[in-house]
Structure 1
């Protein structure tokens, strides 16, 4: 069911790429779809003992983080995200304390929740990136690079082959896209650097989260019911498809904000 990952990535990148030409509100709504996909899939990927509560935490704080970036009056637009992350950390501790002192895997669960929170809040960086004055070529180039790199990770080859392939496709896709968009402010070498960063991000995410997914899906509990297995596989692949897109917002934001000096 690894093909589900690329379908999710295709839908999300298409939503972001199209909505950017209709203003910040449609683009922010598309980013919220990324947040919702992560909020639902992340607890199932990490096998959280509190999947519903964790989904609620990630969704609420993801929406709050998006709102703080959207309504930020001046650059750098991400000023409030550390505060939202701090609130999320406190929420995760309290949520696990409610389980009781003797609850199993409490540290692992808190770590997984905090990691999910960081990834979810990273999606707000996309909104910060399009608020930077100028054209949005870096956003389109970054989305194309992410999609091509994710397509490479679903090829049924060992990671030592798919990771270099993801880097190669991301760089080539970014370079071709930047060449086609001749009126943009991102030059060829900037596009190559952005593609390389996106390919590296997708490859690393696939290696790390892929190991987590395989370890969770091979447990005895998940082998009991095939119907439950398929439902969990769907949500896990959804999280794996959405996570690199959310994290990619940070890379695009850095390109737009720092490298282009805006």
Structure 2
């Protein structure tokens, strides 16, 4: 196993379990503890992990403290894995639109600090997290929602109109094959629709509990989604309906399987 692949597996294991012993990682990957500690040191330098005393245990850095609410506790392991895998798809030099939400927060947590990467977001919590890892960010401004620390309204939309993104990365309150992508707040829905319209490729990151759910504010039809990434607990009949709509569906399984997301 090459170093890059080994570090990807380490990130996935830590994302799933929150903390893990270096010896456990070494045993699982069939390498020495010193090799694991060198990998951890590199990941720490890149802002992904933090070592505890003696380097025996690894923890996720900068877990979402701003804008925390009860939604972050729902399907938290699945959200971490979805965010981790989605972040691996981003390439150096890309411009991203990043929507608000707890799953996109995990994406921001694990986004590599690629050269010349630029993230445009309406979320103050996401922006703070990305800035702490030296990733350039533009915050759109506008009316601040105190509960989610996200901004909406004409000022946000005017700023967004000045950009075109390679990739739009969104969460959603619900994704239904007929109704489409939906949100609880109509202003958030309007901003996310604009992000989708001004991006070359759209990724929607949701855990299985959001599939088939219909929130009141419609963002866009599912045909605007390029890649729907969810977890392996998603019901297959519903996934088949999404595939029939023409999108790629990526299933993120437990990191214990050490494989890439399944796609169809």
| Common topology (TM > 0.5) | no
Say which structure, 1 or 2, has more relative contact order (CA 8 Å, 6+ apart).
1
User: Could you say which structure has the higher strand fraction?
Assistant: 2
Higher helix share: 1
